[in-house]
Amino acid sequence: MKLELNNIFNRRLHLGAWLLTFSFLLFLNCKEPPKNGAFILKGTVTDSVKLLTLFYKDQEVAIPIENGHFFFKDTINGAIIVSLYSDSSLTSDPNYVSFFLEPGEIKIDLIMGKFKEAKITGSNAQREKEKMDKLLKPLTSRFDSYMIRREIILKELDKGSPEATGKWKILEEEWEDTQSEIRKENLVYASENRSSHLSSLYLFSYIKFIPKDSAQTIYENFDSEIKNGHYGQEVIKNLVTREPSMVGDVAPAFSTKDVHGNSIALQDYEGKFLLLQFWASWCEPCRKSNPFLVELYQQLRTKDFEIIGLSVDRDKDKWQQAIKKDEIDLWPHVDAIQTAIDVKYNVLSIPVYILIDPKGKIIYRGGIEGVKEKLDLSVF
């Protein structure tokens, strides 16, 4: 899928790109260290709930509620997306909301069963995000109809309908086209709003879709505060450690141990098709795709096809419980974050499925729907 952006996003790497990379790395060595700022998060919640959970800085923090009010303070580097929930960390839960948290005083008013309608004040980044969400609504609202069509087509596929495959391809193309339009709008916003933490979030989220030199150009246009903020720092990490990991590239090598302590390395799978499953226990689309993976694995496990599960979970217990519950302990599972395999493969969001051919080249990268088609069972 081509990313139709301004000319800046369509440039190819050339001699100038190498010079840009060199000057960029020199800049990294002399920039100021990031500075944390104090924040206060306070708010109200209806009903008699006694506890809320805040997920930020890669950890869960319990926030007690007294007489319908809560209060929490700490320090933070710039503005970051956090989540606040009552019972479940699943994004679809009605008592789950994500928002920008930044230095200063942030106030949020919650209604049980309607967390996503929360009134949030005190965050400039959140205000910018809400404005952009509204502007993008005509695009994002398409996904509601896509999901309805998806469920209908999946049922038709299960029944062996000959027309279902064609319908699925059309739906997949429409889905990818809409995602491409959203990416374009977000990256244009990032290139035009140098003083916005939302810009650095957009660049970090979509950096894998654009050339490295284009990402550097956008980054270098940011104000120093944005460069030194959380997502600015994540962009730097990606640019410095980024390895070729797109379709057509040789798959980056790795060697580590799985969840049971067994040694595992990419080279062990030479001569086989290998599917890398980037997922997490809290990711609903990931969990819903697991039955398909089990079925695919059972079909092909004797035909030079293997899977490695790569989790971005922070909670090891929940990760292992999900493996057992979804019955996917048929293949090895690895902590992708601790081993930095997610960085090697430039994984910024999940689920992502990366298919490697017997020669070690990446031949597919995307959603679960395209895996089976790319494998083409007739090959086996």
CATH of the domain at 322: 3.40.30.10
Specify whether 229 is located in the same domain as 151.
yes
Specify whether 17 is located in the same domain as 72.
no
Non-local CB neighbours of 162 within 8 Å, separated by 6+ positions? none
Task: For residue 48, give Cα distances in angstroms to 44, 63, 82, 109.
Answer: 11, 14, 23, 15
Specify whether 22 is located in the same domain as 42.
no
In a domain, 225, yes or no: yes
pLDDT at 23 over 60: no
CA distance from start to end of the chain: 27
The pLDDT of 173-177, averaged and rounded, is: 87
The pLDDT of 29-49, averaged and rounded, is: 73
Rounded CA-CA distance 219/213 in Å is 10
Specify whether 232 is located in the same domain as 180.
yes
Rounded CA-CA distance 43/120 in Å is 9
In a domain, 110, yes or no: yes
In a domain, 127, yes or no: no
pLDDT greater at residue 58 or residue 217:
217
If we measure between CA atoms, which residue out of 205, 208, 221 comes closest to residue 27?
A: 221
pTM for the predicted model, two decimal places: 0.66
pLDDT at 116: 92
Whether residue 205 contacts residue 9, with contact meaning beta carbons closer than 8 Å, is answered with no
Overall size of the chain counted in residues? 380
Residue that finishes a domain, picked among 94, 119, 144: 119
The CATH number assigned to the domain holding 41 equals 2.60.40.1120
The pLDDT of 303-321, averaged and rounded, is: 90
pLDDT at 379: 53
Rounded CA-CA distance 330/379 in Å is 23
pLDDT at 28 over 50: no
Q: Which of 20-24, 141-145, 160-164, 299-303 reaches the highest mean pLDDT?
A: 141-145
- What pLDDT, in 10s, does the model give residues 238-277? 887 767 777 888 899 999 999 889 999 999 999 999 999 9
Specify whether 196 is located in the same domain as 231.
yes
Specify whether 45 is located in the same domain as 192.
no
Share of the chain above pLDDT 70, in %: 89
pLDDT at 378 over 80: no
Distance of CA 246 to the CA centre of its chain: 16
Specify whether 150 is located in the same domain as 201.
yes
In a domain, 125, yes or no: no
Both tokens of 312, joined, read 């971005």
If we measure between CA atoms, which residue out of 142, 55, 44 comes closest to residue 91?
A: 55
pLDDT at 51: 92
pLDDT at 369 over 90: no
Return mean pLDDT, the chain.
84
In a domain, 152, yes or no: yes
Quickly count: other Cβ atoms within 10 Å of residue 38's Cβ: 11
- The CA-based angle 180-336-29, given to 5 degrees, is 80
In a domain, 221, yes or no: yes
Whether residue 116 contacts residue 143, with contact meaning beta carbons closer than 8 Å, is answered with no
pLDDT at 222 over 50: yes
In a domain, 248, yes or no: no
**Residue range(s) defining the domain that contains residue 262:** 255-379
3-state secondary structure labels for all residues of 229-277 = CHHHHHHHHHHHHCCCCCCCCECCCCEEECCCCCEEEHHHHCCCEEEEE
**b/e code 238-260 from CB counts within 10 Å (16+ = b):** bbeeeeebeeeeebeebebeebe
Specify whether 182 is located in the same domain as 276.
no
pLDDT at 35: 54
Specify whether 11 is located in the same domain as 44.
no
Specify whether 185 is located in the same domain as 105.
no
Specify whether 21 is located in the same domain as 156.
yes
- In the chain, the number of structural domains is 3
Rounded CA-CA distance 325/155 in Å is 24
Specify whether 290 is located in the same domain as 309.
yes
Rounded CA-CA distance 271/371 in Å is 18
In a domain, 126, yes or no: no
